[in-house]
Amino acid sequence: MNLEDERMPKSEQSWDCGAEPGTVTATLRGGTLTVSGTGAMRDYVDEYDIYDTPWKSFRRSITGLVIEDGVTAIGADAFCGCKGLTSVVIPNSVVSIGHGAFPFCFGLESVAIPDSVRYIGACAFIGCEGLASAAIGAGVAYIGELAFADGKSLAFIRIPKGVKKIGARAFRGSTGLTGIEVEDGNTAYCSVDGVLFNRGKDRLIAYPAGRRGAYAIPDGVKSIEETAFYYCHGLTSVAIPNSVKSIGKDAFHECLRLTSVVIPGSVAYIGENAFHECHDLASITIPGSVAAMGDSAFSGCSRLASVTCLNPVPPKIGAETFAYAGVRIDAPLCLYVPQGSIDAYKSARGWKEIPSIEAMPVSA
């Protein structure tokens, strides 16, 4: 640990932090950092050090942040890694929260984003493990990718009706999340029983990772989006309807207790890492409709003992699609394929690495 990160200034310190020199100032008094002035903060993005802010040496000791009225934008990476930060005041003058503005602020418990804010940047609050409450203002139109990802304490999030775009993986791995609600009148998104969908309800975007038990995906969904069920450690089974055509990258990544999933004959593609490290998954049947699977789609599924692939032509897969799957000595992985297809699978990339390949019974 860098000892400089723990010290406090012996006296008040001030720094120019405006996008235009002389317009915005940050002042540190005790444990409170106050940002004042008129206009936008500068962005703190450096190729070699993302924490290259004037208050870098004190970021672990800052406990309070007060942004005063007049400041219009919170700079990118401005408060990244302020691990001791517990409170933030954002005024109604702010219209933009920059990329990575508050990531890994482990002590931050709540944030109220005012109605003036239009833009929440990518990774704005990623890794804020203590964040239990995030009130998103009515004016927000854009929520960036990974904006609230990898939290542990956020149980509920409400999406205002003015939000037009939510970036990929915005709530990925937020293991405390049990419900997502979209305000009535939103033209881009909706929620059904606390699950986030696009307005047309044909794309399942995010399932709350803190939920437990079984889930049946509604009929009509065509795509399970990237990281939709990421880190859903309590998910035990999922029913996928015949309307689904694709399962996205990392869709069920580390659903540790998932024991049952039936992939319907409508699915044509299973994405990279789709079922990565689903340790309790013991068997899977891949329908004949699947033409390709991404690398590591079933890698790390340690208890996977049986894979049945119904396509007589081996689907295109990567060399690591089943890496470290079925590693139990008492139940090693076995692949079952249609009669007459054994030689094709034994010579196909990715499939040939499976140690045991057998023909399905004729009645299968």
Each residue's pLDDT tens digit, 247-281: 999 999 999 999 999 999 999 999 999 999 999 99
User: What's the average model confidence in pLDDT over 87-95?
Assistant: 97
CB 346 within 8 A of CB 314: no
Q: Examine the pLDDT at 11 and tell me if it is beyond 80.
A: no
Please give the residue that has the higher pLDDT: either 10 or 28.
28
Two tokens at 356? 């045991």
Over residues 67-76, mean pLDDT: 98
Whole-number pLDDT of residue 1: 38
Q: What is the pLDDT of residue 10?
A: 64
Answer left, alpha or beta for residue 37, where phi above 0 means left and psi between -120 and 50 means alpha: left
What is residue 36's predicted lDDT score, i.e. its pLDDT?
98
pTM, two decimals, is 0.92
77-104 mean pLDDT: 96
**pLDDT tier for residue 319 given thresholds of 50, 70 and 90:** confident
Rounded CA gap, 111 and 164, in Å?
21
Look at residue 330 in the predicted model and tell me its pLDDT.
58
CB 82 within 8 A of CB 56: no
What pLDDT, on the 0 to 100 scale, is given for residue 68?
98
- Average pLDDT of the segment spanning 68-76: 98
Phi/psi at 345 (5° precision): -70, -35
Burial class from Cβ neighbours inside 10 Å (0-12, 13-18, 19+) for residue 22 reads exposed
Place 361 in a pLDDT band, splitting at 50, 70 and 90: confident
Name the percent of the chain in helix, strand, coil, to the closest 5.
5, 30, 70
Mean pLDDT of 190-215: 98
pLDDT given for residue 38 in this prediction: 98
Lowest mean pLDDT among 6-10, 145-149, 289-293, 344-348: 6-10
The reported pLDDT for the residue numbered 90 is 98
pLDDT score of 52: 79
What value does the mean pLDDT of the chain take?
93
For domain 211-364, is the CATH number 3.90.1150.10?
no
Average pLDDT for residues 310-318, to the nearest whole number? 96
| Statement: residue 4 has pLDDT above 50 | no
Q: Mean pLDDT across the stretch 96-119?
A: 97
Query: Which is more confidently placed, 4 or 151?
Result: 151
Token reading at 50: 């993302």
In this predicted model, what pLDDT tens digit does every residue of 33-71 receive, in sequence order? 999 999 999 999 865 555 579 998 898 899 999 999 999
Q: Which residue has the higher pLDDT, 318 or 232?
A: 232
Check residue 229 and give its pLDDT: 98
CA distance 14 to 298: 53
Q: Is the Cβ–Cβ distance between 201 and 218 less than 8 Å?
A: yes
pLDDT score, position 235: 98
Task: Say if residue 150's pLDDT is above 90.
Answer: yes
Give me the residue spans of the domains in the chain. Answer: 211-364
pLDDT of residue 3: 38
Does pLDDT of 333 surpass 50?
yes
Tell me what pLDDT residue 332 has. Answer: 82
